[in-house]
């Protein structure tokens, strides 16, 4: 099975060549760690290869998302990208042709069905859900969440897309066990300086670099220093 690039060279090296396609991955990190930026690298890499990408934003409104990402050189107005605004709004509005926000953002089943339909119609090969937290909080019972999330992954996996979820570090870890890979973005305070480190927690079906490697966010997005070690690693 070939690999697909994340769009970040150093991260691909850590993953021994990139992600195994058609599986689901989780990117975890605290506020401002670069989860959305990493997800955009992933989506844009697909666009470079003439693939189509679907991006569902649950927290950051599309206008600020486009503005912020354009600073890294990501053009979200590309015809091969579809951005779905699933951020909370005061009034009811349509997300897809026949789906109201209230239904979409509060039901995993609805989300799975809608995404499935979108992929069937448009053949999206890369999908981002950023972040998972909002929809996750709609199910409080842990067993129920586990079951629902697994059904969701199973439904999506039929369509052969690679899917990337983001989530906040504080979240409980249920989905870490269910996805194929977990990448963590860590922020460490060291003598008043912020150090950023990236670590692969798991990657089913592959060996991987288990070190905590430094990364930086620059005007071109995320750069991973895969040959360096973050000295004060945790």
Ligand X SMILES: Nc1ncnc2c1ncn2[C@@H]1O[C@H](COP(=O)(O)OP(=O)(O)OP(=O)(O)O)[C@@H](O)[C@H]1O
For residue 229, give Cα distances in angstroms to 35, 38, 79, 148, 166.
21, 20, 39, 38, 24
**217 binds ligand X per the rule CB under 6 A:** yes
Greatest C-alpha distance within the chain? 53
33, interface contact from ligand X, Mg ion, none, CB < 5-8 Å by kind? ligand X
Identify which range of 34-42, 78-86, 135-143, 170-178 contacts ligand X by CB under 6 A.
34-42
Task: Enter the tokens of residue 201.
Answer: 């927690």
Q: Name the nearest CA neighbour of 201 among 173, 229, 164, 232.
A: 173
Q: Are 184 and 212 in contact (CB under 8 A)?
A: no
Contact, 43 vs 5, CB < 8 A?
no
Identify the sign of the CA torsion 211, 185, 80, 104. positive
Q: Which stretch binds Mg ion (CB under 5 A): 31-39, 84-92, 154-162, 197-205?
A: 31-39
Is residue 219 within the footprint of ligand X (CB under 6 A)? yes
> What does the alpha-carbon distance between residue 29 and residue 201 come to, in Å, rounded to a whole number?
12
Residue 53 site contact among Mg ion, ligand X, none (CB < 5 to 8 Å, cut-off depends on kind): none
> Which one of 6, 28, 34, 36 is in contact with Mg ion (CB under 5 A)?
36
34 binds, among Mg ion, ligand X, none (CB under 5 to 8 A by kind): ligand X
Given candidates 6, 36, 148, 167, which one binds ligand X under the rule CB under 6 A?
A: 36
Work out whether 41 is an interface residue with ligand X (CB under 6 A).
no
User: In terms of CB distance, is 207 or 218 closer to ligand X?
Assistant: 218
CA distance 220 to 69: 10
Any contact of residue 63 with ligand X (CB under 6 A)? no
Contact between 6 and ligand X by CB under 6 A: the answer reads: no
Give the residues lining the site for ligand X (CB under 6 A): 29, 31-37, 71, 217-219
Give the residues lining the site for Mg ion (CB under 5 A): 35-36
């Amino acid at each position: 099975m070939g690999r697909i690039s994340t769009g970040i060279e150093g991260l691909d090296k850590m993953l021994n060549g990139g992600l195994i396609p058609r599986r689901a991955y989780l990117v975890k990190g605290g506020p401002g760690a670069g989860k959305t930026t990493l997800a955009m690298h992933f989506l844009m890499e697909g666009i470079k290869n003439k693939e189509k990408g679907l991006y569902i934003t649950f927290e950051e409104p599309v206008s600020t998302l486009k503005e912020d990402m354009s600073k890294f050189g990501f053009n979200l107005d590309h015809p091969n990208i579809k951005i779905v605004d699933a951020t909370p709004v005061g009034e009811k509005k349509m997300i897809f042709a026949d789906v109201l926000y209230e239904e979409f953002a509060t039901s995993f089943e609805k989300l799975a069905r809608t995404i499935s339909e979108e992929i069937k119609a448009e053949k999206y090969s890369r999908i981002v859900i950023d972040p998972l937290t909002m929809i996750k909080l709609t199910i409080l019972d842990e067993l129920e969440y586990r079951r629902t999330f697994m059904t969701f992954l199973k439904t999506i996996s039929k369509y052969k897309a690679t899917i990337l979820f983001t989530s906040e570090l504080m979240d409980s870890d249920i989905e870490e066990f269910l996805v194929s890979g977990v990448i963590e973005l860590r922020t460490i305070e060291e003598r008043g300086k912020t150090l950023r480190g990236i670590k692969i927690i798991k990657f089913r079906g592959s060996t991987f670099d288990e070190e905590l490697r430094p990364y930086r966010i620059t005007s071109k997005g995320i750069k991973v220093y895969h040959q360096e070690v973050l000295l004060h690693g945790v």
